[in-house]
Amino acid sequence: MTKEKKKTIELGGIARAVRHPIRIVALALAALSVTSGIAGAAGILSAIIGVVLGVITGEKLGRSRYRLPVVIAAHLAFLVVFWGLAWATTFFGILPSLLGPSSSLVVDVILRFFATSFCVVSCFRAVAVRRPTAMAIELLVLAAALSLMFAAHRDAVIERPLWLSDWAWRHGYDPSQVLLAIGAVAVVVLAGLLLAESRRKISLASVLLLPVLALLAMMLLGVSDLRQPEVERDLGLTESVEGDEPNPTPPGHAEGGNEPRRDGGGSRGEERDGGRSGGGGDERPDGGSQTSEQDGSSTAEGDEQDGGGSQDEGERDGGSSSGDERDGGGRSAGDAGLDGGSGGGGEDGGRSVPAEGEEGEGGQCSQEERDQNDRQPSSQRRDQDRNQPDRSPAPMAIVLLEDDYSPESQAYYFRQDVWSEYNGSRLVASRRADADLDVLREFPTLRTRVRQTPPVKGRTLVHARVALLTDHNHPFALESPVVFEPISNPNPTRFERAYRFESLAQTVRFRDLVGRRLGDPSWSDELRQHYLQGPADPRYEALAQEIVGQLPPGVRDDAFTQALAVKLYLDQEMTYSTRERHANQPDPTAHMLFGNRIGYCVHFAHAAVYLWRSLGIPARVGTGYHSPEDNRRGSVILLRSNDGHAWPELWVEGVGWVVMDIAPARNLDPPAQPLDEDLQELLGDMARENPPEPLEPPNREPLFPNLGRNLAAALVGVLIFAFTLLYVVKLWRRLVPIVEGPQHMPRVGFRLAIDLLNEAGFVREHGETREAFASRTLHLVPAFRQLTAWNVAARLADPSASLDERAEFRVANWRLVLGEFKKQLRRNTSFVRRFLGLLNPVSFFFSR
């Protein structure tokens, strides 16, 4: 028994000893949280030092003999003096001239923060020492300062501070629970401090402070030990990422187009009357105004509609090379023309033509696209590219098909944008409200339905998900999309974003389209005209009529057959080369078509559309990605930078927009890099719902999931249990004297008496004898003196006498005097005080 006693006393001693360190640490933390937002390292440090010294000084001053107003006035004077000093350091030139301006500013800050924190803390401490009730104010200040750090976290909406909630998220905790736990711990610590201060004697309850403090320290340590997230984007992709512009750019416009500003370009062109503007350098900071002059001098038409002049060198090179190749191109074109003529003329409607034409050619066109999309299409860059054949095109996106779909054209066309509006020199994205409603021009945040969907007949629904490896301006989908919806990014360190689409993909065979009307009868005349507008150049119509004229008379009037004939003609006649850019031409398409007939997909698409439109066939250019079916591996399609493509589309009644791509017969470009199948498989796996383990960032399993909630729940549970237990004990101590026998009556009865006195607010001091305490309360409860005498006698008097002889062991005596005692207590003490004492569950800890 005595051993236990000793132990609790020692624990109490420890708790009492750590009381001041706890306060210093807590106040220093508070100073840190207050000043961290408004001061630099010097200010924070000086504030913390000020706090530490302030606690010590306040403690000493509180116990000194100076009167409290004097102490407070001294603090104010100290504050004023230090602020004056701080002001003087920067106001007069002496110190700055000695130390330099920045050092004197630091001195200024140090003085201010030190003085302020020192004075505030010391003042509160001194007052709290003198008047224990002021402790509450001190703790309130402390709590307010600490909670400042969490001030932004209100109603559990914003989980601030971010460094804490980030840490929590990363370790799998709910930040609101972590904050809850911290709050609970802080409450317990503050309450403990209050308890420890208000009582001279440390009770069992305040011993609980130690583990709580340890817990807090542990959490703080854990917080400070944050690991920096490592961004892993090093699959050998990053180097080529920067050059990838997935959107094919039109001839004459693409060069210099660092930003994908087709919309801007289009709109500008329109605003300025079909590109009569001068240079447009204002919108192209990189294009630069210095080039516009050269544009003006070098181009016959004067101001081309856009600032492609930044590629002067490339143009000149291109010009010379095109000059060289013109002959060859002409020759080959002639040969091709013959071949095409024979091939195309012989066919009746292109039953099987597209298949042959498309088969291998799409890849070549996309090969072109890659270079075309490179931001530096200058000859040097291209030469560099040639010198580095190992360089593979950058992956742009991963498409995971969820449905089995094999396209009729044997290639997947992922449409991102369409150009249908003729702006005087080329086709651009339409700004009409009623045109091209099957394109979504922003990423979906909700499940979004495309405004215009094609007829279901002749099409099948295909679901797929897309994970973008680089940023795109808007989503693309297998033609023709119906629904877009966002999905969570399967791997944020790898993919920019992910979404899902449903498309009605074409299943009707091309041959079945023969004989159908082209163009939607529901279109207004205006819209129909929109899709028919083309350059005024009469050569287009002449060429188109010439092509149509070669058709057998039976099918000559069929619009689709006419369109197909044009396509086949272009297939035959054109030569693919990304080097031939036809830049700085008023109509690059005409320059290509009626010139050397060398170009790339954008030129071909424009040519096809212009020719179709001159025949009265509504058409437009679609842009996006093109991937041959052969490149599909399982359900994964890897889209690379060289898969960017532009193609002509035409509207077939009952089917909607149908892709009818041009596949040139000859290709001057080197063959494309083969697809990296491992990469494709890897990225496909990553894009799936369950990413493979090793590529995940090292996301440790949280050691204690739901630590915050469990901690809070445990705290509440322990509190409820403890309260119940305490009240039971209290009730027991209250009731047991009724049944107690003479042996223990002096102890039990007296315990009841001191419990009651304690609840009324009277407690024996540490080291005060029972008799002295009885004398102290004599004016309130005279009967207590008798109880005290009996209680002491029961223990210290000569035990050789029998119990019956000793008055202190007589139960009747005790009952009588206890009754008297209670009466006196009720009469002489306030009811409120006694009631509060009755409610206090731990009151009996302080009875002694």
Q: Which residues bind other proteins (CB under 8 A)?
A: 1, 5, 744, 746-747, 750-751, 764, 766-772, 791-798, 848
Minimum CB distance to other proteins, residue 751 (Å): 6
* Rounded CA separation 589/568 (Å): 17
* Rounded CA separation 265/284 (Å): 10
* Rounded CA separation 250/538 (Å): 22
Q: Are 27 and 140 in contact (CB under 8 A)?
A: no
Q: Are 463 and 447 in contact (CB under 8 A)?
A: no
Q: Which is nearer to other proteins, 4 or 234 (CB)?
A: 4
Q: Which is nearer to other proteins, 468 or 794 (CB)?
A: 794
* One-letter amino acid of 806: R
Q: Which is nearer to other proteins, 313 or 768 (CB)?
A: 768
Minimum CB distance to other proteins, residue 732 (Å): 14
Q: Which is nearer to other proteins, 688 or 848 (CB)?
A: 848
The answer to whether the Cα torsion of 21, 25, 28, 30 is positive or negative is negative
Q: Are 575 and 597 in contact (CB under 8 A)?
A: yes
Count of CB atoms situated within 10 Å of the CB of 703: 10
Q: Which is nearer to other proteins, 694 or 767 (CB)?
A: 767
* One-letter amino acid of 87: W
**What does the block give as tokens for 394?**
């950058």
Q: Which is nearer to other proteins, 382 or 848 (CB)?
A: 848
Minimum CB distance to other proteins, residue 71 (Å): 24
* One-letter amino acid of 34: V
Q: Are 295 and 309 in contact (CB under 8 A)?
A: yes
Burial 547-586 (b: 16+ CB within 10 A, else e): bbeebeeebeebbbbbbbbbbbbbbbbbbbbbbbbbbbbb
Q: Which is nearer to other proteins, 16 or 449 (CB)?
A: 16
Q: Can you name the residues that pair with 461 across neighbouring β-strands?
A: 504
| Cα end-to-end distance, the chain, whole Å | 16
* Rounded CA separation 481/199 (Å): 75
Q: Which is nearer to other proteins, 277 or 791 (CB)?
A: 791
* One-letter amino acid of 312: D
Q: Which is nearer to other proteins, 156 or 772 (CB)?
A: 772
Q: Which is nearer to other proteins, 60 or 517 (CB)?
A: 60
Residues 6+ apart with CB under 8 A from 387: none
Q: Which is nearer to other proteins, 696 or 771 (CB)?
A: 771
* Rounded CA separation 685/837 (Å): 68
Q: Which is nearer to other proteins, 569 or 750 (CB)?
A: 750
The verdict on whether omega for the bond into residue 161 sits within 30 degrees of 0, i.e. cis, is: yes
- The position carrying tokens 């990363």 is 170
Minimum CB distance to other proteins, residue 95 (Å): 43
The answer to whether the Cα torsion of 528, 529, 530, 535 is positive or negative is positive
Alpha carbon of 629 to those of 392, 589, 597, 659: distances in Å? 20, 29, 28, 15
- Phi, psi torsion values for 249, nearest 5 degrees: -110, 150
Number of H helices, E strands in the chain: 29, 16
Minimum CB distance to other proteins, residue 773 (Å): 9
Q: Which is nearer to other proteins, 60 or 826 (CB)?
A: 60
Q: Are 659 and 412 in contact (CB under 8 A)?
A: no
Minimum CB distance to other proteins, residue 65 (Å): 15
Q: Which is nearer to other proteins, 201 or 375 (CB)?
A: 201
Count of CB atoms situated within 10 Å of the CB of 6: 10
Minimum CB distance to other proteins, residue 785 (Å): 12
The answer to whether the Cα torsion of 453, 454, 456, 460 is positive or negative is negative
How many residues does this entry show for the chain? Answer: 848
Q: Are 463 and 505 in contact (CB under 8 A)?
A: no
Q: Are 306 and 426 in contact (CB under 8 A)?
A: no
Q: Which is nearer to other proteins, 210 or 793 (CB)?
A: 793
DSSP H or E run through 638:
strand 636-640
Alpha carbon of 46 to those of 118, 134, 146: distances in Å? 9, 26, 18
Describe the chain by its helix, strand, coil percentages, rounded to 5.
Answer: 55, 10, 35
Q: Which is nearer to other proteins, 268 or 785 (CB)?
A: 785
* Rounded CA separation 142/34 (Å): 10
Minimum CB distance to other proteins, residue 793 (Å): 7
Residues 6+ apart with CB under 8 A from 435: 420, 421, 527, 530, 531
Minimum CB distance to other proteins, residue 47 (Å): 36
Q: Which is nearer to other proteins, 1 or 446 (CB)?
A: 1
* One-letter amino acid of 306: D
Minimum CB distance to other proteins, residue 740 (Å): 12
Minimum CB distance to other proteins, residue 7 (Å): 14
The answer to whether the Cα torsion of 495, 497, 500, 501 is positive or negative is negative
| Residue 446, Cβ density class (10 Å: 0-12 exposed, 13-18 middle, ≥19 buried) | exposed
3-state SS assignment for residue 645:
strand
Q: Which is nearer to other proteins, 58 or 746 (CB)?
A: 746
